[in-house]
Chains A and B, each alone.
Chain A
Amino acid sequence: MDIQEIKDQLKVCFSCGTCSGSCPIFRVNPEKNPRRFIQAVLNSSSSDISVLENFEPLWLCTTCYACEDRCPQGINITTMLVKLKNIAARHGYVPESVKAELETIIANGTTSPPGKSILMRRKKLNLPDLPQPDLPAIQKLIHLTLND
């Protein structure tokens, strides 16, 4: 999906603010306003993706789907935001924090490896061992995805 196709999906937005009102991130971070983001994409000139360059807060989306569920115009907002992130990533517009997170995954196969205390506690509770991430597979997957 290119940015024009995404715009076609967003066109019917009448700026009612239901998405932003529903957004759990907007509640704590006024910069992350999905409605404003939709409008910015709609108002950008055709095929210009520089609008995605300065939108770091977009990456805070938790894909909770509250906006998509409630949108009175039936826009697949969450789905569109994910697609926009893909386009942004393809053009190298990825925030440093996200890049760092990616590096952690490449190195460990997970974003946060369990700490010693957690592992001890699991043992005490007779819980089975945590499955180990398949590191080569994850690395291969990320490698292929980034090349796409």
Chain B
Amino acid sequence: MAAEGIEQKDPKIGVFLCKCGKNIAGSVDIDKVAEEIEKLPDVKLVQVNTYTCSDPGQVEIENAIKEQGIEKIVVSACSPRLHGPTWKTLMRRIGMNPELVEVANIREQCSWVHLHEKEEATKKATELIEMAVAKADLLEPVEEIVVPVEKRILVIGGGVAGIQASLDLADDFEVVLVEKEPTIGGRMALIDKTFPTMDCSICILGPKMADVGNHKNINLISNAEVTRIDGYVGNFEVTITKKPRYVDEDLCTACDECVDICPVNVIDEYSGNLGWRKAIYIPYPQAVPASYIIDEKNCLGLSPLACGKCIKECDKEAIIYEDSEKTYTYKVGSIIISTGFDVFDASKIPEYGWGRYPNVITTLEFERLINAAGPTEGDLLRPSDLKRPKKIAFINCTGSRDVRHNPYCSNFCCMESIKDSLLIKEHWPDVEVTIFYMDIRAFGKGFEELYTRSREEGVRYIRGRPAQIQENPKTHHLQITVEAVMQGSLVSEEFDLVVLSVGAEGNKTEIPFPVSRDPDGFYIEAHPKLKPVDTPSDGIFIAGGAEAPKDIRETVTQASAAAGRVTRLLTKGKFNVEPLYAFVDTDECTACELCATRCPYLAITVDKKRKIKASVNPVLCKGCGTCAADCPKNCITMMNFTDAMIFRQIDIALRDNADEKVLIFACNWCSYAGADLAGTSRVQYPTNSRIIRTMCSGRVDIDYIKRSFEKGAGSVMLTGCHPQDCHYISGNDWALKREKKIRRWMQKQNIEDNRFIIEWMSAAEGKKFAQVVTAMSKVARENGGKTAVDTAAAVA
């Protein structure tokens, strides 16, 4: 429509001024605003409503569009963050393109923050609407992109999270479940009992594992890793590489003949390194797939003719020495990351001696030790002499709540120690158990009761973090030195066995796709409260220990939630991509690859060597606009936030009394929302402020700052989310990197350094927003007239 451009003189814009009862009309003279706006050449119609968002208000817009030939609308009302979607829905409903709406925020960012300055607030509102009209004039209809969604899911990781998610999904969709280990089951399969109900872990997990193995819709690929992920939501192409197992999973009946004959003994990682297995083995009897595997590092027979005993023994001819790596590719619509967590390496705390002292073990090793399928068949014996320990100590928070290792609380370890203490007391009531703790965190359903029971059973709780463990080299007993902080006295006591309650760490397995993780290695949720199983990448979800340390119940809850989110996506069969993306004017592009370095979503394809010019995949693009801001040729256009639009906004904002104004660039998610909060909290700040919204601070081109000062701005603020909080992962980092260049330019132009500021503020920091604006508007007013002349000279 706008592209026709022949009848540019013919106004097409309708402006709808909302009074919002007295919320706006109380401090802005709407009739006066209407008078001014009617004079604008691009405006065909101005209409005042008491409540534009109400049904009658919406009908009036509808009628105006249908009857008066309005093609684009400007709604002057509350924040676009509040009712922006309402106007888009309205446009869609009446058959208009939803992108032809612009909102002037004259409530949160004008009437509510200037309650007692009606004249100035009215002036400001008029300017804000003019800015919106100028932008609306350049808006163009954008076709919504709808992508099909493949009805197949990839689940990465077959622990309890992956098992739960796969089973939830498999009745309706095809699931590809990839497991790195030879069996699914994860850590839960290795635990003896679960808290707080003391259920046998493998007894409740085993049947689920078998269900996965037998389900016709689950394609289980074990001993394999995902080596490549391409594409986007609904249309991922994934490549899975399966390591050779050397045993045919379908033929093997797990008869044990091969194990009996195998001459190689290897330390068994599935018994917590406390027992032995053969070079051909099955991790544990309940393993799925229920098939043996040859450990290629230790098997003698894989080198030709060296051994070959097992192959002769196998009646089923299931053993294949010439087995090789296989790759599979699938098209999937969605991905669930359920890769679990890693366990803290206790040898990093040398003063506890794990790895040097045989009788210092971790909780996970303890789980295997007292498990009926473990190395001692469930008998409690200590590693050094295979005798029953009489005094056992647990040390909580090993590696957790420790800035030298993992600063966070690892969630489940307190309860694990408590549960283990009860298991000991249940079977061997004479064994003395002491738990050293810093704080006991028993916050879940039934947890506190378990803690009480443990104390009632006579488990001794000593508050204090042990400083060191020393081994008596003759007896292998262990001396713990600790301050019992409740008494303030030193305890130095000997124990037969010490169990370190180790916490969880982020999984070190890399997923071959950019999904953001926190500094601890855990995957980041799209929103920590409201989107806890979504990742910032559409179509990719997280469940279980990959997201944060958590216990089984929480993991299962999250896995089912993730499965629910996937079902929602797959059932619909299509995905509407938000029509907010960048595109490249390839004529100008020199394939310099700079844009690709800015994009955290790998949405840009460009090749310097082969001179392939940049192009943006609109589905992967999230619309931050960082690439457009940094493109040296200015050949990337960010839809709805084009250079032309923003220049127009700057020009109008600074048309009158520029030298007294503070111009603020605010990102949609944090600082703009913070400004809105200042409004809803009625925090007052000076009226000489004008806000220009971009999706991300990364969109703010250096040229915008230059233009603002060239137009004589008193001061300029670049605001965005706090570091690490960027909605687009790294946009604010790139914005910050422009500061030096901006200040150098300012220096050359004799613009005082304090007239520009970069400030990070969250959506919760309305007060801070008002404070910073107040300070910067003072800077503007002080610099006032004098610098306007300087700048004008500099421009000339």
- B481: which A residues are within 8 A, CB to CB? 21-22, 27
Interface segment, A70-78, A87-95, A113-121, A132-140? A70-78
Query: 22 A–B contact pairs at CB < 8 A?
Result: A16-B464, A17-B463, A17-B484, A18-B465, A18-B483, A20-B467, A20-B485, A21-B464, A21-B466, A21-B468, A21-B483, A21-B490, A22-B468, A26-B490, A27-B490, A30-B490, A33-B488, A35-B483, A70-B467, A72-B401, A72-B404, A74-B404
Known: A16-B464, A18-B467, A74-B404. 11 other contacts (CB 8 A): A14-B401, A16-B438, A16-B485, A20-B467, A21-B483, A21-B490, A26-B483, A27-B492, A33-B483, A70-B351, A72-B401
* Interface residues of chain A: helix, strand, loop or mixed (majority): helix
- Provide the A13-57 mask, 1 if CB < 8 A to any CB of B, else 0: 011111111100011001001011000000000000000000000
Q: Is the CB of A22 within 8 A of B438?
A: no
Q: Ordered nearest first, which 9 A-B pairs have the shortest CB separation? A: A21-B467, A17-B483, A72-B402, A16-B465, A20-B483, A22-B467, A74-B403, A17-B464, A17-B485
Chain B residues whose CB sits within 8 angstroms of the CB of A36 once the complex forms: 488
B482 in the interface (beta carbon within 8 A): yes
Name the A residues within 8 Å of B482 (CB-CB).
17, 21
**Chain B residues, CB < 8 A from A35:** 483, 485, 488
A35 to B488, CA, bound (A): 9
Query: From residue 643 to 672 of chain B, which have CB atoms closer than 8 A to chain A?
Result: none
Residues of A within 8 A of B465 (CB): 16-18, 21, 72
- Residues in A with CB closer than 8 Å to B489 are 30
Q: Which residues of A contact B438 (CB under 8 A)?
A: 14, 16
Interface residues of B (CB under 8 A from A): 351, 397, 401-404, 438-439, 463-468, 481-485, 488-490, 492
Complex Cα gap A21–B436 (Å)? 13
Please measure, in the bound complex, the distance between the C-alpha atom of A22 and the C-alpha atom of B482, giving whole angstroms.
8
B residues less than 8 Å from A72 (CB atoms): 397, 401-404, 465
Chain B residue numbers with a CB within 8 Å of A22 are 467-468, 481
Q: Chain B nearest CB: distance from A62 CB in Å?
A: 15
Q: A36 vs B463: C-alpha distance in the bound complex, in angstroms?
A: 14
Q: Which residues of A contact B (CB under 8 A)?
A: 14-22, 26-27, 30, 33, 35-36, 66, 70, 72-74
Q: From residue A11, how far is it (CB to closest CB) to chain B in Å?
A: 13
Complex: chain A residue closest to B463, CB-CB: A17
Give the docked Cα–Cα distance between A22 and B484 (Å). 12
By a CB distance below 8 angstroms, the chain A residues around B484 are 17
Max chain B C-beta neighbours (<10 A), residue from A14, A21, A35, A36: A21
Contacts of B402 in A (CB 8 A): 72
Which A residue sits closest to B467, measured CB to CB? A21
B638 → A minimal CB distance (Å): 43
Return the chain A residue nearest B439 by Cβ. Answer: A14
Q: Shortest CB–CB separation between residue A68 and chain B, in angstroms?
A: 11
For B351, B465, B466, the residue with the greatest tally of chain A CB atoms inside 10 Å of its CB is B465
In the complex, what residue of chain B is closest to A28 when comparing beta carbons? Answer: B490
How far apart are the CA atoms of A22 and B439 in the complex, in Å?
A: 20
* Closest partner residue, chain B, to A14 (CB atom): B438
- Please indicate the chain B residues that have their CB under 8 angstroms from the CB of A18 in the complex: 465-467, 483
Query: Which residues of chain A are near B403, meaning CB under 8 Å?
Result: 72-74
Residues of B within 8 A of A74 (CB): 403-404
In the complex, what residue of chain A is closest to B484 when comparing beta carbons? A17
Q: CA A30 – CA B484 in complex, angstroms?
A: 12
For the complex formed, measure the closest distance between the CB of B501 and the CB atoms of chain A, giving whole angstroms: 14
Docked Cα-Cα span, A81 to B397, in Å, equals 26
Q: How far is the CA of A73 from the CA of B485 in the complex (A)?
A: 16
What distance in Å separates the Cβ of B465 from its nearest Cβ neighbour in chain A?
4
Residues of B contacting A27 in the complex (Cβ-Cβ under 8 angstroms): 481, 490, 492
Cβ of A73: which chain B residues have Cβ within 8 Å of it?
403
Interface centre among B401, B402, B481, B483 (most CB of A within 10 A): B483
The distance in angstroms between the C-alpha atoms of A33 and B482, with both chains bound, is: 12
The docked-state distance in angstroms from the alpha carbon of A14 to that of B407 is 13
How many angstroms from the CA of A21 to the CA of B351 in the assembled complex?
12
User: Which residues from chain A contact B404 at a C-beta distance below 8 Å?
Assistant: 72, 74
| Cβ contacts under 8 Å, B466 to chain A | 18, 21
Q: How far is the CB of B397 from chain A (nearest CB, A)?
A: 8
- CB neighbours (8 Å) of B485 from chain A are 15-17, 20, 35
- B483: chain A residues at CB < 8 Å are 17-18, 20-21, 26, 33, 35
A70 CA / B465 CA spacing, docked (Å): 11
Residues of chain A lying within 8 A (CB to CB) of residue B351: 70
Look across to chain A and name the residue whose beta carbon is closest to the beta carbon of B485.
A17
Q: Which residues of A contact B468 (CB under 8 A)?
A: 21-22
| Cβ distance B49 to chain A, nearest Cβ, rounded Å | 54
- Docked complex Cα distance between A74 and B405 (Å): 10
CB distance from B567 to the nearest CB of A (A): 43
Complex CA distance for A18 and B761, rounded to whole angstroms: 38
B397 surroundings in chain A (CB, below 8 A): 72
Closest to B465 in A: A16
